Chains A and B, each alone.
Chain A
Amino acid sequence: SQKIEQNSEALNIQEGKTATLTCNYTNYSPAYLQWYRQDPGRGPVFLLLIRENEKEKRKERLKVTFDTTLKQSLFHITASQPADSATYLCAPRGASGGSYIPTFGRGTSLIVHP
């Protein structure tokens, strides 16, 4: 079955540094991959979508890469701020054949220290 792996340990970084979060997946060939942000006690919020034919996607201070050979996506936040502290969820989607599996990785908690 599909498996999504995200580092379960919290990532602690200093304000202004670049945060890099990793998502690995197995038993799946997604056509695209999404990243979400979840704050405590809230529902996840969609951030970015990257397609399998795109190597990199940027949105303001966010950058996502997608390596279908490694089955990995990296999520970067540059010039991080304390307000970026949250849990970030990875969601590979849209396997060939059209199946949509709405599962998520367990998420990585990011803590940005002032």
Chain B
Amino acid sequence: GAVVSQHPSRVICKSGTSVKIECRSLDFQATTMFWYRQFPKQSLMLMATSNEGSKATYEQGVEKDKFLINHASLTLSTLTVTSAHPEDSSFYICSARHRVDRGGDTQYFGPGTRLTVL
């Protein structure tokens, strides 16, 4: 099946620093990637939709200047958390949309990145 990698898997940083998370589709091209965050025992919360070669579309309430998304190629999207603060600590997950067949698309998820801001 399609594989999506995410790096790093875990990061601990000091408040005020920026953190970049990479998401790669390894064996397929993804024109669309999504970024989610998830708090413990909560549902996946969509942050933004990233289309290759264009600006990301952010969900209501998500600060685009704080969560910078770049989708420079069909296999790579990055999320940069700028000036991170403890409240940004969360589990960040990317997914890539892949057309399985004419019947529908499937999202393949990365393993997630646990961000802890001290």
Contact = CB atoms under 8 A, between A and B. Distances in A.
Interface string A26-52: 000001101010000111111001010
Contacts of A41: 91, 112, 114
| Residue among A43, A93, A103, A107 facing the most chain B CB atoms (10 A cut-off) | A43
Contact of A31 (B91, B104, B106, B109): B104
A51 B106 CA distance: 12
B95 A94 contact: no
A32 B100 CA distance: 12
Interface residues of B, number: 26
A15 B19 CA distance: 43
Interface residues of A, number: 23
Given A102-B97, A104-B43, A107-B43, 18 more contacts: A31-B104, A34-B104, A34-B107, A36-B109, A41-B112, A41-B114, A43-B6, A44-B44, A44-B95, A45-B109, A46-B106, A46-B107, A51-B103, A100-B105, A102-B95, A103-B44, A103-B46, A106-B43
11 contacts: A43-B95, A44-B95, A46-B1, A46-B107, A51-B103, A51-B104, A89-B43, A94-B104, A100-B97, A104-B44, A105-B43
Interface of B: 1, 4, 6, 32, 34, 42-44, 46, 49, 91, 93, 95, 97, 100, 103-112, 114
